[in-house]
Amino acid sequence: MFITRVWILLLCYPLVFFPTNAASTELLSDLMLFLKVPVKLALFVCWDEDKSFKFLRKMLQASQVHFVQLKSVAVENIAILDTPEPHQHLAVIDISCPGSDKFLAEAQYRIYNKIRWVLWNENGYEKKTNGGDEQEDVIFRSVAGLPVTGLSEVYYFSVERGETVIKDVYRRSVMMNLNSSVVGVWRNGIIEDKRWTQSVVMRRRNLQMLPIKTSLVYTTNYTLSHFGDFENNEVDSIPRTAYLLLDTLFTYYLNATMEKRFVTTWGYPDHTTGVWNGMSGDLIYRHSEAAGSMMLITQNRLLKIDYLKMPIPLRIKFIFKAPNLSETSNIFQMPFDFSVWMCTLALVAITATVFAVVHGVLMLRRKNSIRNRYLEMLNAAYDIIPVATQQGSLLEPKSSAQKIMIFVSLAGLMFIEVSFSAKIISLIQAPSERINSLRDLVESRLELGTDGQPYNRFYFSKATDPVGIKLYKRITNQNADTLNAYDTEQGVRKLQTVTNPELFAYHGFTSTLYQQISRTFNDVEKCYLRELTFFDSGIGYFSVQQNFTLREHFHIGLMKMLEAGVATRLVRRMLNEKPGCTKGVMFRPLDLVDTRFAMEIAAFGILGAVCLLLAEIVLSKYTLWKTPVQNYTE
């Protein structure tokens, strides 16, 4: 027989009543093979050296054993079970050894956390002749005060009708009586499997209406009477979805009873005392065993509670209607590409030059002075400005060449202006796509608001990056040091109002917001909606108290619901997705912001003209003042 490499750590003490005959060794070896996992064997006994070596010689023949440790039942030896692979451990303890009861009591969560245990009595499988108690009664008394619950794998052996029977002992909860079930029957070195499935959780999933304390979150009184229905699913959609999932799990999979405990918040630590409140506080301080709503994973929660692998979308985002393009960009610059602008300016410059040359040739025929000729040519070149702006020509054409030049210039630049005007009209109605990050949102002039839920202040106030800090300052009412909170109806109304002087971004559950938006927004308006995420994680998970004995029951049940599509159906029915839209244009009247660039040009032009006028007046006054003084001197 192939023998794997065995490491033996031997620490022996005298006083032992463990049966180390060949039958007991073969039974233990067959049990390890029966469990079908790589086993690290740890024996906590009180043997003498002779019996220890005899047992080890027998165990060396077991090919499935990779690691053997022989220890006394001293409490300090419990630490050897704390390895990264507890599911590979098989711990055998002689309950007749002195100190074994204390050893088991100190084992605590190791009794039900993946480690397999075998309880052995000094008299093997026979009845005690002096007390009349059977082996099973002795085992039950030894674990009466231990948390051997539905996840525990605690095995023992008894003789029934002349056969060696392998049993396990467990209870549905720490407050209930112990039960036992037959795992297998050992005959001629072979264990006949009596289990209907190898999974311990599947075999014990029927909790027989066991009450499980569960904390449920609600934010409005309406939810208290509507947890189990689909009416007005925009109200507390996340807590109600979680309740429906857990209710399905309790009713159809675990056969358990939900003992409800209502709280108004998901739970956060107090910044001064560190005391947790809400649903997290219930789990941490053992007021509840399971959380009835999904929670985000945070570092401080990970140290206090256990999460289950059941991802549910917790879409908490900023929703805003994209501002008009004129709010974020200069729409008068956008109609043409940079190269088109350069070509247009070059065309205007060339046309002005041709105007000047043609007018200069005309002046040569009239034999005007050189000074007057240059001034006339400059005036002709300046004439391109009213022509380019479709205001007509300031010069009266005297020749056919001038008439042709003015006509061609007006016609050609007219087509460019028509294209420019058409593009401007579409850009005025177009939404902006410049706000694509939280930094863009912070630097915009959008007003920020929230739905008033407790998580807003906690997460916004905990921001450490510059953008998050500035975002918290903007979303907070500085006078009252409170968040700018609006209920769903008010927030959606502010999102929709196009005449609102301040644009608005609303932070909350997208499912709730989209339900209200679907009722109030038209199909075109829905296309203008944008989303930005503040929280790093948009996924919520169910959670239970640390070292919860039924944790695997919950986990496997939730995974089966997910695989069967039950969870997906409930989520899609309760949580609303972003509504569809019809692409189109919302025509609206022009605002001052739409014509900002044109007004700026006009303002600078008027200001420049006024400055030139003042300069000319000052220059003329100065000239008039200085000229008489020069004449008087002469």
For residue 135, give both structure tokens. 């082996």
Query: Residue 550: which residues within 8 A CB-CB, separation 6 or more?
Result: 149, 150, 151, 173, 207, 212, 254, 289, 544
The answer to the question of residue 345 being in a domain is yes
More confident position, 594 or 1: 594
> What are the pLDDT digits (tens) for 402-428?
777 778 777 777 888 888 888 887 777
* pLDDT of 319 over the 50 cut: yes
For residue 631, give both structure tokens. 């004449």
What are the phi and psi torsion angles at 507 (to 5°)?
Answer: -105, 125
Among the candidates 169, 203, 237, a domain finishes at 203
> What's the rounded Cα separation, in Å, for the pair 515 and 519?
7
> In this prediction, what percent of the chain has a pLDDT beyond 90?
15
The answer to the question of residue 368 being in a domain is yes
For residue 173, give both structure tokens. 């909860």
pLDDT of residue 453: 82
The answer to the question of residue 487 being in a domain is yes
The answer to the question of residue 589 being in a domain is no
**Range with the poorest average pLDDT among 238-252, 373-387, 559-573, 599-613:** 373-387
Block residue for tokens 């050894």:
97
* pLDDT of 305 over the 90 cut: yes
State mean pLDDT over 563-570: 89
pTM summary value? 0.72
> What are the pLDDT digits (tens) for 86-100?
888 889 898 888 888
Among the candidates 536, 553, 586, a domain finishes at 536
Beta strands in 231-315 (DSSP E): 256-263, 290-291, 305-307, 312-313
**Range with the poorest average pLDDT among 200-209, 232-241, 499-508, 564-573:** 499-508
Q: Where are the alpha helices (DSSP H) in 249-369?
A: 278-284, 299-302, 325-328, 338-365
> What are the pLDDT digits (tens) for 327-337?
777 777 778 88
The answer to the question of residue 581 being in a domain is no
Q: Within this chain, do residues 450 and 497 fall inside the same structural domain, yes or no?
A: yes
Q: Within this chain, do residues 104 and 162 fall inside the same structural domain, yes or no?
A: yes
Block residue for tokens 């006339």:
376
pLDDT class for 275, splitting at 50, 70, 90?
very high
> What's the rounded Cα separation, in Å, for the pair 450 and 447?
11
* pLDDT of 480 over the 60 cut: no
Count other C-beta atoms under 10 Å from residue 5's C-beta: 6
Residue among 289, 221, 230, 232 nearest 260 (CA): 289
Q: Within this chain, do residues 60 and 157 fall inside the same structural domain, yes or no?
A: yes
Q: Within this chain, do residues 132 and 77 fall inside the same structural domain, yes or no?
A: yes
pLDDT of residue 8: 32
Residue among 429, 405, 261, 443 nearest 331 (CA): 429
pLDDT class for 599, splitting at 50, 70, 90?
confident
> What are the pLDDT digits (tens) for 434-460?
888 888 888 888 888 888 887 887 788
pLDDT class for 182, splitting at 50, 70, 90?
very high
State mean pLDDT over 350-358: 80
Q: How, if at all, do strands 163-170 and 529-533 pair?
A: unpaired
pLDDT of residue 128: 42
pLDDT of residue 248: 93
**Domain total of the chain:** 5
> What's the rounded Cα separation, in Å, for the pair 116 and 581?
58
Q: How, if at all, do strands 39-44 and 65-71 pair?
A: parallel
State mean pLDDT over 286-312: 88
Decide: helix, strand or coil at residue 355: helix
> What are the pLDDT digits (tens) for 499-521?
554 588 999 888 888 888 888 88
The answer to the question of residue 93 being in a domain is yes
Block residue for tokens 């070059």:
346
Distance of CA 191 to the CA centre of its chain: 49
> What's the rounded Cα separation, in Å, for the pair 392 and 407?
10
Q: Within this chain, do residues 150 and 79 fall inside the same structural domain, yes or no?
A: yes
Q: Within this chain, do residues 47 and 126 fall inside the same structural domain, yes or no?
A: yes
> What's the rounded Cα separation, in Å, for the pair 260 and 56?
53
> What's the rounded Cα separation, in Å, for the pair 504 and 514?
16
Residue among 58, 87, 57, 92 nearest 72 (CA): 92
pLDDT of residue 633: 46
More confident position, 356 or 44: 44
The dihedral sign for the CA sequence 314, 316, 317, 319 = positive
Task: Check residue 541 and report its DSSP letter.
Answer: B
The answer to the question of residue 347 being in a domain is yes
Of 41-55, 116-130, 291-305, the range with the highest mean pLDDT is 291-305
Q: What is the mean pLDDT of the chain?
A: 80
Q: Within this chain, do residues 507 and 568 fall inside the same structural domain, yes or no?
A: no
Block residue for tokens 């590979």:
88
Q: How, if at all, do strands 190-193 and 179-187 pair?
A: antiparallel
Q: In Å, what is the CA distance from 265 to each residue of 61, 282, 285, 482, 634?
A: 59, 11, 16, 17, 98
pLDDT of residue 63: 62
For residue 569, give both structure tokens. 């159906």
Query: Residue 290: which residues within 8 A CB-CB, separation 6 or more?
Result: 212, 213, 214, 215, 246, 283, 542, 543, 544, 545, 548, 554
Angle ∠(499,500,506) on CA atoms, nearest 5: 130
* pLDDT of 365 over the 80 cut: no
State mean pLDDT over 42-51: 81
Greatest alpha-carbon span in the chain: 153
* Structural domain harbouring 532: 320-325+432-536
> What's the rounded Cα separation, in Å, for the pair 456 and 316?
10
Residue among 206, 151, 158, 202 nearest 184 (CA): 158
Among the candidates 145, 180, 203, a domain finishes at 203
* pLDDT of 250 over the 90 cut: yes
* pLDDT of 589 over the 70 cut: no
CATH number of the domain that residue 493 is part of: 3.40.190.10
> What's the rounded Cα separation, in Å, for the pair 526 and 522?
7
pLDDT of residue 288: 94
Residue among 82, 118, 127 nearest 100 (CA): 118
CATH number of the domain that residue 156 is part of: 3.40.50.2300
Q: How, if at all, do strands 290-291 and 210-217 pair?
A: parallel
Residue among 12, 11, 10, 17 nearest 98 (CA): 17
Q: Within this chain, do residues 292 and 351 fall inside the same structural domain, yes or no?
A: no
For residue 396, give both structure tokens. 């009266």
pLDDT of residue 587: 63
Distance of CA 78 to the CA centre of its chain: 39
> What's the rounded Cα separation, in Å, for the pair 92 and 40?
11
* pLDDT of 134 over the 70 cut: no
Q: Within this chain, do residues 181 and 39 fall inside the same structural domain, yes or no?
A: yes
The answer to the question of residue 585 being in a domain is no
pLDDT class for 624, splitting at 50, 70, 90?
confident
Q: Within this chain, do residues 410 and 556 fall inside the same structural domain, yes or no?
A: no
State mean pLDDT over 475-479: 75
> What's the rounded Cα separation, in Å, for the pair 246 and 283?
16
Decide: helix, strand or coil at residue 492: helix
Q: Within this chain, do residues 306 and 345 fall inside the same structural domain, yes or no?
A: no
Q: Within this chain, do residues 186 and 210 fall inside the same structural domain, yes or no?
A: no
